[in-house]
Amino acid sequence: MRVALFTETFLPKIDGIVTVICLLLDHLTERGIETVIVAPKMGVTHYKETPVIGVPGVTLPLYPELKVGPPTLSTYRQLKEFDPDIAHFIHPALIGGAGMMMAKYLGIPTVASFHLDLARLVHHFNLGFISR
């Protein structure tokens, strides 16, 4: 089995979401499941045996330890070459949203999981108008 994971945050950032992702990758690898992760391009090319497809982006003024940007044609090509059996989207937003369209176009089944309350988070950054 081959699993592609999409996330808006990954190493070298360390937080609860990244910890959950690393535990999930470890779990899948231990069971012989091949993985790839699509994440912001932050200089990390692999997590253990899992290749990282880096998505270029810009730094957010309110969240400087994160880069955001949509997946590119290169991302699409690498995903297609990996040929996953399923795509898992972890708190999908920009990378995840575009990744879901790629997966749909390629006929890849999808699942999403959420590990934070985005609607509440936008209020923290005084961006409540986008909470819906």
pLDDT in tens, 5-33: 999 999 999 998 999 999 999 999 999 99
- The dihedral region occupied by 48, where left means phi > 0, alpha psi between -120 and 50, and beta the remainder, is left
- The dihedral region occupied by 114, where left means phi > 0, alpha psi between -120 and 50, and beta the remainder, is beta
List, for residues 58-77, the tens digit of each pLDDT value.
988 877 888 889 999 999 99
Looking at the domain covering 2-130, what would its CATH class be?
A: alpha beta
pTM (two decimals): 0.86
List, for residues 68-110, the tens digit of each pLDDT value.
899 999 999 999 999 999 999 998 888 999 999 999 999 999 9
Domain ranges of the chain: 2-130
pLDDT of residue 19: 95
Closest alpha carbon to 53 in 20, 98, 15: 98
Which residues, in sequence order, are bridge partners of residue 26? none
pLDDT of residue 105: 96
Predicted confidence (pLDDT) at residue 130 exceeds the cutoff of 70? no
